[in-house]
């Protein structure tokens, strides 16, 4: 059994183990151990991947495994990873680990909470390792559905409404996606071969352009909904605002990345001509996303809404960069996914911790938190600085790679779009500093705040894990960037050959 299958197996075993626990303490301990092992496994995977590459293995996918699953439709359990999926897996493991500790004190239906959370994560892991479109879609649904329960049961505010909205919108996306995937499948046969769902096999042939024109937008929008593509992003603010802390972390941190990942791995990789033809539409939409999300964030009062709009802006940049279709910009897109995943998870963790103390998320009801909870406040400031792209933290690396990549297109349309997108660095600074100023600095707003206790050990563990990753990428980005760029080569080649860029 390959190392990749363990990535799905360990969460499953953890879930089974949680079923046998008796109380809250045992359940969370088991979850922590399970996700801890998963984190170590992800670390081992990164290490194995790098050794394999430095040993000169140039195969596109490593650690592959292929088991026939449903012969009638030629569906396989086919797994394999390249540098990009490895990076995404590591991101997921980190966010999940931090998420478990951020929900250390969940009281209500504690076991069920952890089970749903880990179930969701196993869907995500499965998605990132899959090379078979059908299996991938299955894992995708596995990741989306527990979200409904998690928000509907453990959420706050208008949770049923939000859960319903989020699930329905994502399901709507899935419907598009399913049609798109089936369309790809129907056109997947190489000469004399049966139809296949295998991504790598399909990439070897070219799908007829008429089919691409029809199925590319469906697939792209299907994934785009999850990637908060304007104007299909509105599930994000409501969904996040109602979701419990760890769910927001995983959702914004990891699940939204499924969208971006799917956009290039499935839609753009398999249907490059259509991607090239229609890129302009989506470039316009994502350019709007980036700026619109940032301006939208300026006037919000609820911390989670601010972060949700900020995510719209940052995730817009991911898809924007993907559509630039060159190595640098796509490298930037993936860096941005990772960076945003870590940052936003950290933000949601902190917001949850602050909410746990103040019982409000309205920034105008808070103020001067720096004095009473300095640890959390300092981490919040650092997360904010990462978000506005301070060098030395991950956001800068990602944004600059995107900008330089996008700037390699010299035509007016791309230039103008790029320059509009770069203005977001100023707007981001405005909303981040606004929150920091109102929430953390200034005089203490409420007498009761004086009784707050600063971060507990599990809160520190959760935030520091994320912070260390953010700083590590920000300080030494070269290894990660090389790993991604190397894996992008086959994709870029396919884009370049078929589109003649």
Partner 1 sequence: MSGFQYVVLIPIIPFLMFLLIGLVGHKMKPALAGLIGTTGLFISTVLSYITAYQYFFVSGKVNGVYEKIIAFNTVWLQLTDKLHIDLGVLIDPISVMMLVVITTVSLMVHIYSNGYMKGERGFQRFFAFLGLFSFSMLGLVLATNIFQMYIFWELVGVSSFLLISFYYDKPSAVAAGKKAFIVTRFADLGFLVGILLLSYYTNTFDFVSLTTPGCPAIVQAAGITFMGISVVTLALVLIFMGGAGKSAMFPLHIWLPDAMEGPTPVSALIHAATMVVAGVYLVARLFPIFALTAPSALTIVAYVGGFTSLFAAVIACTQNDIKRVLAYSTMSQIGYMMLALGVSGYGGEDGLGFMASNFHLFTHAMFKALLFLGAGSIIHAVHSNLMTEMGGLRKYLPITHITFLIACLTIAGVPFLSGFFSKDEILTAAYHHDKILFFVEYAVAGLTAFYMFRLYFNVFWGEDRHYHHTPHESPLIMTLPLMFLAFASIFAGYLPFSELVTSDGAGFESHLEMPIAAASVGIGLLGIFVAWVMYKKPSGAPVKMATTFKHLYKWSYNKFYMDEVYLFVTKKIIFNNISKPVAWFDRHVVDATMNGFAWAANYASFNIRDLQSGQLQKYAFVFISGVVVLVLSFVYFFMN
Return the number of the residue (99 or 296) whose C-beta is nearest partner 1.
296
Binding span for partner 1 by CB under 8 A among 253-261, 317-325, 431-439, 455-463: 431-439
Alpha-carbon distances, residue 364 vs 47, 238, 427, 452 (angstroms): 46, 20, 20, 18
Question: Least separation, in Å, of the C-beta of 404 and partner 1?
Answer: 5
Binding span for partner 1 by CB under 8 A among 34-42, 254-262, 263-271, 297-305: 297-305
**Residues between 314 and 343 with contacts to partner 1, criterion CB under 8 A:** 326-328
Return the number of the residue (26 or 234) whose C-beta is nearest partner 1.
234
What single-letter DSSP state applies at residue 189?
Answer: P
- Collect contacts of 153-161 with beta carbons under 8 A, ≥24 apart: 153/108, 153/109, 153/112, 153/113, 154/106, 154/108, 154/109, 154/113, 154/244, 154/247, 155/242, 155/243, 155/244, 155/247, 156/242, 156/244, 157/241, 157/242, 158/238, 158/242, 159/242, 161/238, 161/242
**How many Å apart are CA 439 and CA 362, to the nearest integer?**
9
**Residues between 41 and 70 with contacts to partner 1, criterion CB under 8 A:** none
Cβ atoms < 10 Å from Cβ of 80: 22
Question: Least separation, in Å, of the C-beta of 319 and partner 1?
Answer: 17
Binder of partner 1 out of 51, 57, 423, 446 (CB under 8 A): 423
Question: 205 phi and psi, to 5 degrees?
Answer: -105, 170
Draw the binding track, 144-173, toward partner 1 (x: CB under 8 A; -: no contact). ---------------------x--xx----
Binder of partner 1 out of 11, 99, 123, 389 (CB under 8 A): 389
Element (H, E) at 70: strand 62-70
Return the number of the residue (258 or 492) whose C-beta is nearest partner 1.
492
Question: Least separation, in Å, of the C-beta of 403 and partner 1?
Answer: 6
Binder of partner 1 out of 485, 487, 495, 498 (CB under 8 A): 485
Compute the half-sphere exposure of residue 362: CA atoms within 13 Å on the CB side of its CA. Answer: 4
Question: Least separation, in Å, of the C-beta of 173 and partner 1?
Answer: 12
- Say whether residue 380 binds partner 1 (CB under 8 A): no
Binder of partner 1 out of 189, 211, 430, 496 (CB under 8 A): 430
Q: What is the DSSP string of 289-332?
A: HHHHHHHHHHT--BHHHHHHHHHHHHHHHHHHHHHT-SHHHHHH
CB 91 within 8 A of CB 338: yes
Instruction: Name the residue with tokens 């493991």.
Output: 93
Q: How many residues belong to the site for partner 1 (CB under 8 A)?
A: 60
Burial letters 475-488, b for 16+ CB under 10 A, else e:
eebeebbebbbbbb
CB 385 within 8 A of CB 393: yes
Draw the binding track, 217-256, toward partner 1 (x: CB under 8 A; -: no contact). -------------xxxxxx-xx------------------
Draw the binding track, 437-476, toward partner 1 (x: CB under 8 A; -: no contact). x--xxxxx--------------------------------
Return the number of the residue (9 or 298) whose C-beta is nearest partner 1.
298
Parallel, antiparallel or unpaired: strands 62-70 and 75-81: antiparallel
Binder of partner 1 out of 40, 70, 391, 416 (CB under 8 A): 391
Which residues of the chain form contacts with partner 1 (CB under 8 A)?
Answer: 165, 168-169, 230-235, 237-238, 292, 295-296, 298-300, 326-328, 368, 370-371, 385, 388-392, 396-397, 400-401, 403-405, 407-408, 410, 418-419, 422-423, 425-426, 429-430, 433-434, 437, 440-444, 477-478, 481-482, 485
């Amino acid at each position: 059994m390959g190392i990749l299958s363990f990535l799905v197996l360990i969460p499953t075993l953890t879930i089974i183990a949680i079923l046998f626990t008796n109380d809250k303490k045992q359940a969370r301990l088991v979850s922590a151990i399970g996700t801890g092992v998963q984190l170590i496994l992800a670390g081992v995977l990164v290490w194995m991947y790098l050794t394999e590459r430095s040993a000169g293995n140039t195969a596109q996918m490593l650690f592959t495994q292929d088991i026939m699953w449903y012969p009638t439709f030629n569906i396989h359990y086919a797994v394999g990873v390249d540098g990009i999926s490895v990076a995404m897996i590591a991101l997921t493991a980190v966010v999940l680990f931090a998420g478990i500790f951020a929900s250390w004190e969940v009281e209500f239906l504690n076991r069920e909470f952890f089970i749903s959370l880990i179930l969701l994560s196993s869907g995500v892991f499965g998605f990132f390792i899959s090379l078979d479109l059908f299996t991938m879609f299955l894992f995708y649904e596995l990741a989306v559905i527990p979200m409904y329960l998690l928000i509907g049961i453990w959420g706050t505010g208008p949770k049923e409404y939000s859960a319903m909205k989020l699930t329905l919108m994502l399901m709507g996306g899935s419907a598009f996606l399913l049609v798109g995937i089936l369309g790809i499948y129907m056109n997947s046969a190489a000469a004399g071969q049966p139809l296949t769902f295998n991504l790598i096999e399909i990439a070897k042939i070219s799908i007829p352009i008429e089919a691409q024109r029809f199925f590319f937008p469906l697939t792209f929008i299907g994934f785009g909904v999850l990637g908060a593509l304007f104007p299909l992003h509105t599930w994000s603010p409501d969904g996040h605002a109602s979701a419990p802390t760890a769910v927001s972390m995983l959702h914004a941190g990891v699940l939204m990345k499924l969208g971006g990942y799917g956009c290039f791995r499935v839609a753009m990789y398999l249907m490059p001509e259509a991607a090239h033809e229609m890129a302009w539409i989506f470039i316009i939409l994502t350019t709007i996303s980036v700026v619109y999300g940032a301006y939208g964030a300026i006037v919000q009062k609820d911390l989670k809404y601010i972060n949700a709009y900020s995510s719209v802006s940052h995730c817009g940049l991911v898809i924007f960069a993907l559509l630039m279709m060159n190595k640098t910009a796509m490298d930037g897109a993936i860096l941005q996914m990772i960076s945003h995943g870590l940052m936003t998870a950290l933000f949601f963790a902190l917001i949850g911790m602050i909410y746990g103390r103040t019982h409000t998320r309205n920034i105008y009801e808070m103020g001067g938190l720096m004095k009473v909870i300095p640890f959390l406040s300092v981490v919040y400031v650092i997360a904010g600085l990462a978000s506005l792209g301070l060098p030395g933290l991950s956001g800068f690396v990602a944004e600059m790679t995107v900008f330089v990549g996008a700037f390699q297109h010299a035509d007016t349309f791309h230039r103008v779009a790029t320059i509009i997108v770069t203005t977001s660095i100023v707007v981001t600074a405005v909303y981040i500093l606004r929150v920091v100023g109102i929430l953390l600095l200034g005089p203490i707003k409420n007498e009761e705040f004086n009784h707050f206790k600063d971060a507990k050990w599990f809160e520190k563990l959760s935030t520091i894990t994320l912070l260390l990753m953010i700083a590590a990428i920000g300080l030494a980005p070269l290894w990660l960037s090389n790993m991604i760029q190397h894996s992008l080569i086959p994709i870029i080649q396919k884009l370049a050959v078929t589109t003649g860029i």
